[in-house]
Chain A
Amino acid sequence: MKLELRGITKSFGALVANDHIDLVVESGEIHSLLGENGAGKSTLMNVLYGLYEPTAGEILIDDKPVMFAGPADAMAAGIGMVHQHFMLVPVFTVAENVALGGETTGFGGILNLDDTRRKIREISARFGFDVDPDALVDELPVGVQQRVEIIKALVRNAKILILDEPTAVLTPQETDELMDIMGQLKSNGTSIVFISHKLREVKAVSDTITVIRRGKVVGSADPGAATTELASMMVGRAVSLTLDKADAEPGEVTFKVSNLTVMNDAGQRLLNDISFSVADGEILAIAGVQGNGQTELTEAVLGLHKHIQGSIMLDGRELVGRSVRQVLDAGVGFVPEDRQDDGLVGEFSIAENLVLDLYTQEPYSRWGSMNRAVIAKNAKEKVAEFDVRTQSSQDAADTLSGGNQQKVVLARELSRPLKLFIASQPTRGVDVGSIEFLHKRIVAERDGGTPVIIVSTELDEVLELGDRIAVLYAGRLMGIVPGKSSRELLGLMMAGLPADEAQAQLDAPAAGSSGAGDVAPAGDTEGERS
């Protein structure tokens, strides 16, 4: 089936998310949409899937124009979508989720799930999935949930499958398996639209690549194109993919985590017996696929978790058992992974957000009463120093772009003498210009002698910033390796191999272990990158 988008425009008020986008997906091809976070890829696909109504433009299937009033129409036309955030009801079983919206029923609308179960088993057998139709989705690992989403689309006879950032939650190994599945789907005649901002994956899997920037198509490329060329198309200028930073000069070890275990209320170990330390003037980058304990690690340091065993020492003082307030007062600067959820109060002004964790201190307040003049003056200084693009520091924080919001958080956290600086996903959803600025400020803090911990799921960022790199997998520390380690090594560790085993596998590629074989293709792109 051939899909064509002609002049699709989608605007939200004054914001134009898609600007006259033309796109042709030929039958049986894997067509990648490459673009930065916020470039408009997901909006475009939501238009295609009938979730948004386009402001202008038309969609053609096999050269006939179609109109989608909702996802039901899109599905009927043979379009299936695997969303970035899975659209699965957690308390339903796999079969119930797959059936939903297209249920087989008996007399009086009575559900008959046997038919659905049979189809799930059929598709599972065809693609080698191991999916139990009666398992509760909530209890399935992320990789399996993604397969349920693919099954959902295939059960509805999707001829065009949209995969929206499908690899964000997968290990490199799971990613490679997904790519195998995509290959099989393609050979069955299914067209695939693959949305990603990861150059390596796009190059490895695509037949055609279309690059989108700021809501516009900026061109198409051949999968054989050089990584740097794709990158500069994506961000709109030549980018140096490496940050100029001097080698670290580690001082005394002042931050030490020993045998740290964190549990949730249900008693699951989210972090299991972690030990590491960070020296003054050093950046420890923590890598890993999302959801492997990174969030819990940073939150444990900050004192946000109840069920903790082990010890976290800063400057000879125990942090475990202290309140967040006490941890902050002990000199910890903290940039949470989700700035809108955890870092900012969106309705508060920029000025108020800049004192969000300093408001109890003089001169911002005295005798329980806030000093507005001082707070306004502080805001003016910080906005200038961190180049926050805003009309006024009295504007609400949620009027700012992602990058500027992150600058506000960073400005606040770096505006006092620190003994430890922790930043989670410091540049997620941030434009390239701001990324450079933010990275430089982080390195500057390191050079000032502060121990720094950076958590990131982006390997590029980890490799750029880390003086040493720790890898977390399923709540365990796979090891700590030097900052200039290879992608393959990190990939294997992110997939659950301890550092020494991963290194051994790389040293002996002939061993034929499945893990090494699957990850190997990454090697050629690595060569182009440097």
Chain B
Amino acid sequence: MSVTANIKPSKAVDRVAIRSWKNPILLGVLALFAVVVFALLGPSGDATFRISQDSDVWQVPNLVLPTKVFGIVVALLCVGLAVTAYRQMKQEGRIAKWVTMAFAVVFVVGLLVWIIGGTKTQNITLVGLFTGAMLITTPLVFGSLSGVLCERSGVVNIAIEGQLLAGAFTAALVASITQNAFAGLLAAAVAGMLVSFLLAAFSIKYVVNQIIVGVVLNVLVSGLTGFLFEKIMKTKVDGVTIYNQPVHLPDLPIPFLSEIPILGPMLFRQSIIGYLMLILVAAIWFGLFRTRWGLRIRAVGEHPKAADTVGINVNRTRFLNVLAGGAIAGVGGAYFTLVAVSSFSKDMTGGLGFIALAALIFGRWNPIGAALAALLFGVAGNLQSILSLAGTPIDGQFLAMLPYALTILAVSGFVGKSRAPAADGEPYIKG
């Protein structure tokens, strides 16, 4: 027998276009900006992008762009794309994905050329730009992966900053005492897990609001590391501060791959933490979307009760994920004191944990998206410090705002739809 033939969907399926003008307006404003700033007020002369270093095996010629002409081209393209977006919205009720993507790429390239063309030297070394960016990007990626694991399973993680800081401090202390960088790395992971344990214990077991716990943990870790820094790390033995002299992790260049222009020095001339980052991004993405582990985590984050009814222990899944996230963020923290700089200093993570949160949201709770967002934010951050020396048409502070401003645009629905897991932040109480 067939009973399905008679079923009429009881959901209404009629559809008419409801137009949202947010995106066309945003593109229009940006296009106008491009016209005025890039084209009309654009600097004259050429902007030079140096791709190869003198020591490179393969030499790629420099990219030289006439700033003014290029600015006009970019402005025209932006206007064209904005008009296309407006038309699409008017006729079809939505904007094709390629339009916004193309707009973003064109605008960013235009912005970069305009900035470089406006500096005194009018040139930039791309290798420097990207390898320098990795100093910021690496901890950001670890931080945002921690966020991915926590939030995909339904626990909001505002404590990334604290996890990074705990990792940085512990790595420095343990690597100093043991004179072994790997011991420091391991200890950092444990320290991150301890912060996570508090987050999990309070938010899952005691059902304290997760945002409160996160905010408070950041204060706690900042205070604790600050206190121990004063008490222990500043203690001098024979005139030297022996507890803040961490042994560093060596760079391990991969033969051949490390010779690729730009990508080589950026990705394949790193310490073990850098390679761990690449592996983790791929592994967590694969794990989340292709394995049983990931299916269960996503179910717990989207509809915990449904997961419970098929025998998945919701709170244990969450607990374990939060712990794993803490370990990952702890390793990211170790990057500060075992790779990036020589020793620990108070509150040295300087809000990167919150940028990691931003990367997580901007990357739409997807490991790869978060990593790309972290790269974007890292480049912006590094550009800011490069430019502070070169003198620019745009103040570095505005570049510093970029990650935060983009995130606000993302959560306000201006840049695509950024949707958190449905049960993110909701405690699960049986019954």
Contacts and interface: CB of A to CB of B under 8 A. Distances in A.
Interface stretch (A173-181, A225-233, A313-321, A353-361): A173-181
A152 B306 CA distance: 11
- Secondary structure at the B interface, as helix, strand, loop or mixed, is loop
Given A90-B303, A100-B296, A108-B291, A71 B12 contact: no
Interface string B418-431: 00001000000011
Nearest to B423: A89
Contact of A101 (B10, B17, B18, B311): B311
Interface string A86-102: 01111110001101111
B310 A100 contact: yes
B10 A143 contact: yes
Contact of A90 (B8, B290, B302): B302
B2 interface: yes
A100 B299 contact: yes
B313 A475 contact: no
Nearest to A87: B306
B312 A142 contact: no
B11 A92 contact: no
Given A111-B291, A111-B295, A174-B7, A88 B306 contact: yes
B3 A128 contact: yes
Contacts of B15: 266-269
Contacts of A174: 7, 10
A307 interface: yes
A73 B313 CA distance: 12
B6 A101 contact: no
A100 B295 contact: yes
Contacts of A99: 295
B10 A96 contact: no
Contacts of A70: 308, 311, 313
Given A90-B303, A100-B310, A101-B307, A177 B6 contact: yes
A72 interface: yes
B314 to A, nearest CB: 10
B293 interface: yes
A129 interface: yes
A103 interface: yes
Contacts of B299: 89, 92, 100
A234 B10 CA distance: 31
Nearest to A97: B306
Contacts of A269: 12, 14-16
Interface residues on B, range: 35 or more
Interface string A47-83: 0010110000000000000000011110100000101
* B1, B7, B299 interface centre (most CB from chain A within 10 Å): B7
A101 B11 contact: no
B4 interface: yes
Interface in B10-64: 10-18
A272 B14 contact: yes
Contacts of B3: 128-129, 177, 180-181
Given A128-B1, A143-B10, A177-B7, A51 B430 contact: yes
* B3, B293, B305, B306 interface centre (most CB from chain A within 10 Å): B3
Interface residues of A, number: 67
B292 interface: yes
A141 B9 contact: yes
Contacts of A102: 310-311
Contacts of A89: 298-299, 302-303, 306-307
* A70, A272, A289 interface centre (most CB from chain B within 10 Å): A70
Contact of A142 (B10, B93, B307, B430): B10
A130 B17 CA distance: 29
Contacts of B10: 141-143, 169, 171, 174, 289, 291-292, 473-474
A270 interface: yes
A523 to B, nearest CB: 19
B285 to A, nearest CB: 13
A265 interface: yes
Interface of B: 1-4, 6-18, 93, 290-293, 295-296, 298-299, 302-303, 305-313, 422, 430-431
17 contacts: A70-B308, A71-B310, A90-B302, A92-B298, A100-B296, A100-B310, A100-B312, A111-B291, A141-B8, A174-B10, A267-B16, A269-B12, A269-B15, A289-B10, A292-B10, A474-B11, A514-B6
